[in-house]
């Protein structure tokens, strides 16, 4: 068992996430201050243990957001001494909270692996008053009934009769209930007499589905179990009626230059985060449309910064240019490593030039910033930290040089570091890089008065190095852990930036659909993968608006393998079992399709039947397209809106000769 004391973080969590939102019950607050949430999480997630969010555990399930646990426990009004039933033990965390207050807790979990793990963890933390059973909780636990209170941690279509009947008179049952799988109302039922129950709606919530005899049926064919089941073996074909429904309920447009974005801006409303995706990293239309939307958000809705799926130091070079910083720029070219075309292209340059121009008339503290959220720049970041420290604190620069020296042998191929560090051939550099980060944090008060922005830059580079070191170490274990770490890093960077820019700040994020669409609605969740879209959705709820892009055919800039040269490739027309094919069949060549604010219930229900979606990355392999580029998703849960271009063209990357002509200050090439 880990012994690290995180009580400080727990106190902060209780203060800011729970008490601040109105939970007052002393017993609940004390319990939340006591139970170590990190113990119930997979190790890769433990650093997020006190974040304001649900998190993935094993078997595609989640541990609830701390606040929701506190809210539900408060809602059953425990005073101490009760017998409580929980349905959906999951990690066992909520059961531990209940066990702090009640006399005896019974908890049922339908997934055996989870039930076993939860039981083991509760035992090792000495919760002797909890009993865990593997089974279908919609039927309750009749042998121990009646109960003073019942908590259901998964959403059902109705309140199971078995559970109601197992309540004592005066007992309370709290359960999420909703007619679709993905959103519910939290209902509190009080048993007033033998046959009478009182029901109240107490909150809007989103839980994983309650699956069982008196819950959702996994095999149900209605498409409503979108969030719960995998795609049926028989793949849905394109139905003409459905394409017709799309045609009737989308907002078609003819040219990017003349598209009316006002309806979209209204749907975005006062969202604080707008996530804009792309279904390839090399499609001109996606870049242009994304930039147009971003310009409108900056001009009309006061967005504060743009965060991209690019590396911090490279984007910082662009930021230096667009915000007209006074200190001299670094002498190197931004985004010069593979895949260069992703950011070094005409489309991006148009936006960067626009932003520099837009910022020119503003006070320096009002200028719109441009940041990179990604973590592939291990060595560039080290270099930037050393450059900064040499300027502000040469002595510490010496220490940093020595500490980061541990990573130097891996400069050209950081992926091999992971293997070496794990097999013990080389010791891991973890301690040194963490120490460097804490040193920088400790020097905050000494460094920031000189220049807050530059300190932020160095600090962010140090955070990046810490996470990148871990990232390369974890790559060895496989893709899931490193994917989650990478998206966790992007999300943490976004949060630091929001904090840096203050309460009123608003962010536009540019990243691939696979990062910005809610992973929970896609097959990524089957593998336990999370992404920035899901983390934002969990933290910001409806104040986060996610837009996806899609295309049927055309050309795209991509490589055939990692570090390979860029090629202009033809995009194979979309497969019959894909969402893309549905959109293609609608007959409109370009449109916006509102999903969160879709008026046609029928269309939404139809779209909720899972289909395939295409994702082209920096690599495109048409030969193995189905296996390499299609994945299963439930579109209406994935995005709030989708933008469609039936036929698309590749971005225009810079030629070296063009770089010569650009002004000296231009960040892409000196
Ligand atoms: N209380 C949990 C959160 C659980 S998420 C925690 O603190 O970690 C909901 C859990 O309900 C999932 O693990 C899911 O597998 C489980 N579940 C869904 N339907 C169920 C059913 N009919 N009976 C028991 N458990 C169920």
* pLDDT at position 84: 98
Q: How confident is the model at residue 326 (pLDDT cuts 50, 70, 90)?
A: confident
The overall average pLDDT reported for the chain is: 88
* pLDDT at position 613: 96
For residues 594 and 576, give the distance between their C-alpha atoms in angstroms, rounded to a whole number: 22
User: Which is more confidently placed, 519 or 482?
Assistant: 519
* pLDDT at position 562: 81
Distance 107 CA to ligand 1 centre (A): 9
Which residue's CA is the nearest one to ligand 1's atom 17?
88
Asked if the bond preceding 404 is cis, omega within 30° of 0, the reply is no
Q: Which of 35, 69, 95, 109 to mutate to test the pocket of ligand 1 (most atoms within 8 A of CB)?
A: 109
Tell me the Ramachandran region of residue 140: left when phi exceeds 0, alpha when psi lies from -120 to 50, beta otherwise: left
User: Which is more confidently placed, 226 or 511?
Assistant: 511
User: Beta-strand (E) ranges in 92-226?
Assistant: 104-109, 130-134, 147-152, 167-177, 184-191, 197-205
Question: What is the mean predicted confidence (pLDDT) over 354-372?
Answer: 96
Active site residue 589: no
For residues 351 and 314, give the distance between their C-alpha atoms in angstroms, rounded to a whole number: 16
Residue 235: is its pLDDT beyond 70?
no
User: Which is more confidently placed, 212 or 366?
Assistant: 366
* pLDDT at position 390: 93
For residues 331 and 312, give the distance between their C-alpha atoms in angstroms, rounded to a whole number: 16
Question: In ligand 1, which atom is closest to the CA atom of 108?
Answer: 24
Distance 209 CA to ligand 1 centre (A): 8
Distance 109 CA to ligand 1 centre (A): 6
Which of 185-194, 446-455, 469-478, 541-550 has the weakest average pLDDT?
A: 469-478
CA atoms within 13 Å, Cβ hemisphere of 578: 20
Establish whether residue 404 lines the binding site of ligand 1, counting it when its CB lies within 6 angstroms of any ligand atom.
Answer: no
Return phi, psi of residue 428, to 5°: -75, 150
For the purposes of burial, counting CB atoms within 10 Å of the CB of 234, is it exposed (0-12), middle (13-18) or buried (19 or more)? exposed
Long-range contacts of 356-361 (CB under 8 A, 24+ apart): 356/321, 356/322, 356/324, 358/295, 358/298, 358/299, 359/322, 359/323, 359/324, 360/324
Which residue's CA is the nearest one to ligand 1's atom 11?
88
Question: What is the mean predicted confidence (pLDDT) over 472-493?
Answer: 82
* pLDDT at position 448: 86
List, in sequence order, every residue forming a beta bridge with 172; answer none if it has no partner. Answer: 149, 190
Residue 556: is its pLDDT beyond 60?
yes
Distance 422 CA to ligand 1 centre (A): 35
Residues 6+ away with beta carbon under 8 Å from 196: none
Establish whether residue 87 lines the binding site of ligand 1, counting it when its CB lies within 6 angstroms of any ligand atom.
Answer: yes
Q: Which of 84, 90, 116 to mutate to test the pocket of ligand 1 (most atoms within 8 A of CB)?
A: 90
Establish whether residue 555 lines the binding site of ligand 1, counting it when its CB lies within 6 angstroms of any ligand atom.
Answer: no
Which of 69-73, 154-158, 497-501, 573-577 has the weakest average pLDDT?
A: 154-158
Q: Looking at domain 7-220, what is its CATH homologous superfamily?
A: Vaccinia Virus protein VP39 (3.40.50.150)
The answer to whether the predicted template modeling score (pTM) of the entire model surpasses 0.85 is no
Question: In ligand 1, which atom is closest to the CA atom of 138?
Answer: 22
Which residue's CA is the nearest one to ligand 1's atom 13?
90
* pLDDT at position 668: 56
Which residue's CA is the nearest one to ligand 1's atom 14?
88
Residue 225: is its pLDDT beyond 90?
no
Question: What is the mean predicted confidence (pLDDT) over 541-559?
Answer: 96
Domain borders along the chain are 7-220, 375-497
Establish whether residue 437 lines the binding site of ligand 1, counting it when its CB lies within 6 angstroms of any ligand atom.
Answer: no
Which residue's CA is the nearest one to ligand 1's atom 19?
210
* pLDDT at position 663: 42
Which of 93-102, 137-146, 210-219 has the weakest average pLDDT?
A: 210-219
Residue 214: is its pLDDT beyond 70?
yes
Residue 21: is its pLDDT beyond 50?
yes
Q: How confident is the model at residue 157 (pLDDT cuts 50, 70, 90)?
A: confident
For residues 139 and 243, give the distance between their C-alpha atoms in angstroms, rounded to a whole number: 41
For residues 470 and 482, give the distance between their C-alpha atoms in angstroms, rounded to a whole number: 8
Residue 525: is its pLDDT beyond 80?
yes
Establish whether residue 63 lines the binding site of ligand 1, counting it when its CB lies within 6 angstroms of any ligand atom.
Answer: yes
* Cα separation of the two ends of the chain: 53
Which residue's CA is the nearest one to ligand 1's atom 16?
88
For residues 461 and 48, give the distance between their C-alpha atoms in angstroms, rounded to a whole number: 20
Distance 87 CA to ligand 1 centre (A): 6
Residue of 114, 78, 120 lying closest to 99 (CA atoms) = 78
Highest averaged pLDDT of the listed ranges 313-322, 467-476, 595-604: 313-322
Which of 290-304, 415-429, 564-578, 580-594 has the weakest average pLDDT?
A: 415-429
User: Which is more confidently placed, 205 or 87?
Assistant: 87
CB atoms within 10 A of CB 115: 20
For the record, the structure tokens of 480 come out as 């899931």
Establish whether residue 62 lines the binding site of ligand 1, counting it when its CB lies within 6 angstroms of any ligand atom.
Answer: yes
Residue 183: is its pLDDT beyond 70?
no
Residue 468: is its pLDDT beyond 60?
yes
Q: How confident is the model at residue 180 (pLDDT cuts 50, 70, 90)?
A: low
Residue 218: is its pLDDT beyond 70?
no
Residue 423: is its pLDDT beyond 80?
no
Distance 425 CA to ligand 1 centre (A): 42
Which residue's CA is the nearest one to ligand 1's atom 23?
137
Distance 514 CA to ligand 1 centre (A): 26
Question: What is the mean predicted confidence (pLDDT) over 382-401?
Answer: 92
Establish whether residue 108 lines the binding site of ligand 1, counting it when its CB lies within 6 angstroms of any ligand atom.
Answer: yes
């Amino acid at each position: 068992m880990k012994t690290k004391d995180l009580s400080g973080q727990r106190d902060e969590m209780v203060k800011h996430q729970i008490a601040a939102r109105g939970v007052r019950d002393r017993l609940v607050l004390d319990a939340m201050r006591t139970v170590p949430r990190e113990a119930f999480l997979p190790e890769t997630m433990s650093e997020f243990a006190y974040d304001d969010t649900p998190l993935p555990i094993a078997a595609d399930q989640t541990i609830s957001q701390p606040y929701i646990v506190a809210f539900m426990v408060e809602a059953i009004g425990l005073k101490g001494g009760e017998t409580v039933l929980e349905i959906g033990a999951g990690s066992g965390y909520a059961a531990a909270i209940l066990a702090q207050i009640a006399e005896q807790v019974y908890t049922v979990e339908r997934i055996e692996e989870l039930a076993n793990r939860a039981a083991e963890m509760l035992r090792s933390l000495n919760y002797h008053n909890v009993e865990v059973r593997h089974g279908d909780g919609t039927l309750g636990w009749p042998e121990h009934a009646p109960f003073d209170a019942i908590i259901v941690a998964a959403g059902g279509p109705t309140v199971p009769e078995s559970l109601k009947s197992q309540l004592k008179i005066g007992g309370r049952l709290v359960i999420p209930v909703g007619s679709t799988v993905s959103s519910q109302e939290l209902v509190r039922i009080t048993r007033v007499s033998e046959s009478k129950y009182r029901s109240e709606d107490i909150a809007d919530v989103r839980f994983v589905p309650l699956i069982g005899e008196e819950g959702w049926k996994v095999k149900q064919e209605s498409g409503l179990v979108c969030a719960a089941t995998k795609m049926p073996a028989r793949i849905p074909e394109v139905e003409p009626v459905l394409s017709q429904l799309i045609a009737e309920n989308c907002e078609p447009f003819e040219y990017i230059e003349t598209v009316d974005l006002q309806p979209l801006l209204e749907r975005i409303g006062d969202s604080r985060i707008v996530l804009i995706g792309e279904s390839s990293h090399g499609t001109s239309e996606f870049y242009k449309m994304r930039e147009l939307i971003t310009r409108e958000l900056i001009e009309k809705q006061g967005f504060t910064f743009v965060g991209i799926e690019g590396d911090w130091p490279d984007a910082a070079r662009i930021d230096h240019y667009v915000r007209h910083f006074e200190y001299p720029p670094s002498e190197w070219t931004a985004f010069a490593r593979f895949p260069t075309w992703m950011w070094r292209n005409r489309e991006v340059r148009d936006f960067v030039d626009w932003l520099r121009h837009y910022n020119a008339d503003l006070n320096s503290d009002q200028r719109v910033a441009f940041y990179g959220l990604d973590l592939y720049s291990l060595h560039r970041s080290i270099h930037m930290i050393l450059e900064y420290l040499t300027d502000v604190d040469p002595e510490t620069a010496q220490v940093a040089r020595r500490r980061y020296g541990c990573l130097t042998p891996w400069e050209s191929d950081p992926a091999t570091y992971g293997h070496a560090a794990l097999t013990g051939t080389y010791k891991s550099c973890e301690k040194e890089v963490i120490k460097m980060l804490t040193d920088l944090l400790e020097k905050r008060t000494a460094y920031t008065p000189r220049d807050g922005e530059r300190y932020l830059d160095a600090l962010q580079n140090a955070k990046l190095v810490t996470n990148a070191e871990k990232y390369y170490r974890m790559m060895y274990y496989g893709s899931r852990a490193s994917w989650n770490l990478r998206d966790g890093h992007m999300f943490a960077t976004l949060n630091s930036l929001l904090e840096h820019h203050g309460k009123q700040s608003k962010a536009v994020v540019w990243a691939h659909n696979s990062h910005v669409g809610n992973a929970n609605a896609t097959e990524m969740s089957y593998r336990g993968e999370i992404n920035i879209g899901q983390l934002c959705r969990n933290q910001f709820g409806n104040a986060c608006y996610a837009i996806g892009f899609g295309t049927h055919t055309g050309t795209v800039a991509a490589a055939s393998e990692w570090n390979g040269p860029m090629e202009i490739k033809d995009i194979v027309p979309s497969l019959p079992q894909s969402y893309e094919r549905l959109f293609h069949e609608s007959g409109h060549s370009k449109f916006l399709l509102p999903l969160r604010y879709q008026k046609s219930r029928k269309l939404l229900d139809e779209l909720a039947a899972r289909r395939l979606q295409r994702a082209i990355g920096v690599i495109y392999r048409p030969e193995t397209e189905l296996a390499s580029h299609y994945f299963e998703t439930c579109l209406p849960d994935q995005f709030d809106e989708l933008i469609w271009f039936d036929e698309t063209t590749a971005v225009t990357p810079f030629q070296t000769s063009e770089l010569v002509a650009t002004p000296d200050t231009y960040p892409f090439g000196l």
